[in-house]
Amino acid sequence: MSRLCEGRIAIVTGAGRGIGREHALSLARHGAKVVVNDLGGSVDGTGGDLTPAEQVVEEIRAAGGEAIANGENVADFEGAGRMVQAAIDAFGDLHAVVNNAGILRDRMLSNMTEAEWDAVINVHLKGTFAPSRHAVAYWRDRAKAGEPVSGRIINTTSVSGIYGNPGQTNYGAAKAGIAAFTNILALEVARYGVTVNAVAPAALTRMTENLGMGQGSDEEKAAMAPHWIAPIVTWLASDEAAGVTGRVFEASGRVLAVAEGWVRGPSVDPVDDPEGLGPIVAELLAGARKNAGMDGVPGSPPQSN
């Protein structure tokens, strides 16, 4: 029986640990050849070590799969291009890019430094743009040459970005940007045979263990294990997912859901006198759904760090 991603070639960024590691292992189990990318830095993005990526490659090879390690910085435009080319050179093609690499530098905005803002935006947002840009150019050129294309970009957003979480204006802004990037790029590349989706994971990893996710019963911890995110990513990377694009999926050991994007709520005719807007805005808000909390439910209280 053919496996779900048999013969497909995938890049997974930030794949040395946590959620990315689970993505790489799952894709390999389902027949994909995997480029395991990881800079090997700390949670805040400093430092570098190829060892975690190499260890995941060893796991995949020990199980009979094919993989190579890659230590490029995904936020470096030229480095991202080299990573994409490495996949093509090693395995002869490219079918999926899973943009998973990320860092945290949480702080309330009044105390956040410019460096903390820039670092998070750079790794998450530019680190999604750069690999995607090079992959899309490759697939576009193949499509224009009349060759078949079955491309997949799978981005990593967050409930912190699409719903909001205090103390994470940098991280949440980057993740909200990734959700918008996903929607727009899906519209741009459909003609090339490429789909673009995103996953908003909730899992206990070294990035989240200090955010309260490391507490609770063994059952609660099991529900937050990172392997729960890999099934939807593996499926989205497959040929089966050809008809799904521009969507954001929430994934954890507690739920698999489709997040609904911004939609127009109650509306009125245009108003040209600001002094008359008070009761009009009150009426609009009374008829509108409240913003969702971190659980995705409109009107639920926000989570505080």
Are residues 74 and 102 in contact, defined by beta-carbon separation less than 8 angstroms?
A: no
Angle at 18 between CA 12 and CA 24, to 5 degrees: 30
Six token digits for residue 15: 């794949």
Six token digits for residue 218: 């063994």
Helix (H) or strand (E) holding 257: strand 256-259
Q: Where are the alpha helices (DSSP H) in 40-160?
A: 51-62, 77-91, 114-121, 127-144, 159
Are residues 190 and 241 in contact, defined by beta-carbon separation less than 8 angstroms?
A: no
Q: Is 69 left (phi over 0), alpha (psi -120 to 50) or beta?
A: beta
Query: CA 170 from chain center: how many Å?
Result: 16
DSSP 40: -
To the query of whether residue 192 is one of the catalytic residues in this protein, the response is: no
Cα(132)–Cα(150) distance, integer angstroms? 14
Count CB atoms within 10 A of the CB of residue 106. 21
Query: CA 82 from chain center: how many Å?
Result: 21
Catalytic residue among 138, 163, 171, 192: 171
Residues labelled as active-site residues: 171
